[in-house]
Amino acid sequence: MRVRLLEATENPEELICLGARNDYMSDWVADQSFEDAMAGVEGEDVEAQKANFLARLLKRGHYGPFEHPSATFAIEGASRSCMAQLTRHRHASFDVQSMRYVSFDEVDPAAVEDGEMVVTPPSATDPDWVGRNQSVEDVDEDDVARREAVFRRSVRRSVEDYQELLELGMPPEDARFVLPIGTEVNIVVTLNPRSLMHIADMRAAADAQWEIRELTEQLLDIAAEWCPLTFEYYEAEMKHRKNRLAP
């Protein structure tokens, strides 16, 4: 899976600060320079003031100002299962690659067997991988060895069946019913820092599934460059404290 930033608000942390400073000033925020708007905030220079102010907002739970900036990410090759988890979050905007208009008629089923088009979970190939709700006691070494073969055979067969249904004239919107939930999809998602921190609260946590955890970590890495002070504070002080942003 790959994640890239498509577009984002410039100077997002200035915008967060201005939004919040608006709450505490009698003058109109739009008439102020950033330096003037930050006057009175503790810090040697404006960068230190920004860092202190953002940390104070997060510490107090004043999360509203973190909704003003937004970032749009392009995600390539998530499974439909991961997509179903991500799109449960309602404070985000999505575009999802359509299986009605994009058909996989040219994909080589042998390539699918080798890992194209369908995400291969680590438990299919890594005998030491232990996932949630796994009945480890009941599985012997032969079973572990056979997992990969069964998984690969199954995804290949479903793509072969899908392509045969297309050849038999079935529309892609119906033939797709036989494709696995691991089928890859490209997603465009727009988030604000608050919604991203909330998603990370839930999806970077140890009890979330490996794929959405990996996706969330990639989003957080990009966000750390886009909103460095906010996500540095989040990483150091807030991450892994579940539901900090939506009690």
Positions that interact with ligand FAD (CB under 6 A): 88-91, 198, 202-203, 207-208, 246
Among candidate residues 80, 203, 241, 244, the one labeled active-site is: 203
Question: CA-to-CA distance for 159 and 110, rounded, in angstroms?
Answer: 10
Question: How far apart are CB 79 and ligand FAD at their closest, in Å?
Answer: 16
Question: How far apart are CB 245 and ligand FAD at their closest, in Å?
Answer: 8
Measured in whole angstroms, how far is the alpha carbon of residue 177 from the centre of its chain?
25
Which pair of structure tokens corresponds to residue 45?
């220079």
By beta-carbon proximity to ligand FAD, the closer residue of 176 and 194 is 194
By beta-carbon proximity to ligand FAD, the closer residue of 49 and 70 is 70
Is the distance from CB of 219 to CB of 73 less than 8 angstroms?
A: yes
The b/e string for 136-161 (b: 16+ C-beta within 10 A; e otherwise) is eeeeeeeeeeebeeebbeebbebbee
By beta-carbon proximity to ligand FAD, the closer residue of 99 and 202 is 202
**Is 203 one of the catalytic residues?**
yes
End-to-end CA distance of the chain: 30
Question: How far apart are CB 217 and ligand FAD at their closest, in Å?
Answer: 14
Side-chain half-sphere CA neighbours of 206 within 13 A? 3
Question: CA-to-CA distance for 122 and 60, rounded, in angstroms?
Answer: 40
By beta-carbon proximity to ligand FAD, the closer residue of 150 and 246 is 246
Question: CA-to-CA distance for 87 and 189, rounded, in angstroms?
Answer: 9
Question: How far apart are CB 203 and ligand FAD at their closest, in Å?
Answer: 6
Is the distance from CB of 218 to CB of 1 less than 8 angstroms?
A: yes
Catalytically active residues, by annotation: 203
